[in-house]
Amino acid sequence: MQQDMEKTWLGHPRGLFVLFLVEMWERFSYYGMRALLVFYMTKQLLFSQEDASHVYGLYTGLVYMTPLFGGLLADRFLGQRRAVYIGGTLMAIGHFLMAFESLFFPALGFLIAGNGLFKPNISTQVGSLYPAGDKRRDSAFSIFYVGVNLGAFLAPLTCGTLGVVVGWHYGFGLAGVGMMVGLLIYLYGQRYLKPDRLTARKESSAEAEAPLTLREKQKIAALVLLCLLTIPFWAAFEQQGNTLALWFDSDTDRQIGEWEVPQTWFQSLNPMFIFTLTPVITAFWAWQAGRGAQPGAIAKMVRGCLLLGASFLVLVPAGIWYDVNGTPVSMWWLVASTLVMTLGELYLSPIGMSMVTKLAPARAVSMCMGIWYLSQFAGNLLAGYIGGFWEVLSRFHFFLLLASLVFGAACATAVYLYIMKRSRLREDMLHV
Averaged pLDDT for residues 164-189:
91
**394 closest CA partner among 247, 240, 236, 241:** 247
Burial 20-38 (b: 16+ CB within 10 A, else e): bbbbbbbbbbbbbbbbbbb
- Between 279 and 412, the higher pLDDT residue: 412
State the DSSP H helix or E strand holding residue 345, giving kind and residue range, or none if neither. Answer: helix 332-359
Q: Which domains does the chain have, with CATH numbers?
A: 12-190+214-430 (1.20.1250.20)
The dihedral through the CA atoms of 142, 23, 73, 80 has a sign that is: negative
Judge whether residue 204 has pLDDT over 70.
no
What is the rounded distance in angstroms from the CA atom of residue 190 to the CA atom of residue 199? 14
Amino acid at 20: F
- Note the pLDDT of residue 3: 45
Averaged pLDDT for residues 392-415:
94
State the DSSP H helix or E strand holding residue 12, giving kind and residue range, or none if neither. Answer: strand 12-13
Indicate the pLDDT class of residue 7, thresholds 50, 70 and 90: low
Q: For strand 255-256 and strand 12-13, is the pairing parallel, antiparallel, or unpaired? A: unpaired
Q: What is the pLDDT of residues 137-158, one digit of tens each?
A: 767 877 887 888 889 889 888 9
Q: What is the pLDDT of residues 34-93, one digit of tens each?
A: 888 888 999 899 899 889 888 988 898 888 788 878 878 887 888 888 899 999 999 999
- Note the pLDDT of residue 137: 74
- Note the pLDDT of residue 2: 45
**Phi, psi values for residue 260, rounded to 5°:** -100, 125
Cβ–Cβ under 8 Å, residues 193 and 15: yes
Of 126-130, 197-201, 241-245, 337-341, the range with the lowest mean pLDDT is: 197-201
Burial 48-82 (b: 16+ CB within 10 A, else e): ebeebbbbbbbbbbbbbbbbbbbbbbbbeebbbbb
Judge whether residue 307 has pLDDT over 50.
yes
Q: What is the DSSP secondary structure assignment for residue 74, as one 8-state letter?
A: I
pLDDT averaged over every residue in the chain: 85
Averaged pLDDT for residues 83-106:
91
Indicate the pLDDT class of residue 428, thresholds 50, 70 and 90: low
- Note the pLDDT of residue 203: 47
- Note the pLDDT of residue 432: 59
Strand partners, 253: 330
Indicate the pLDDT class of residue 1, thresholds 50, 70 and 90: very low
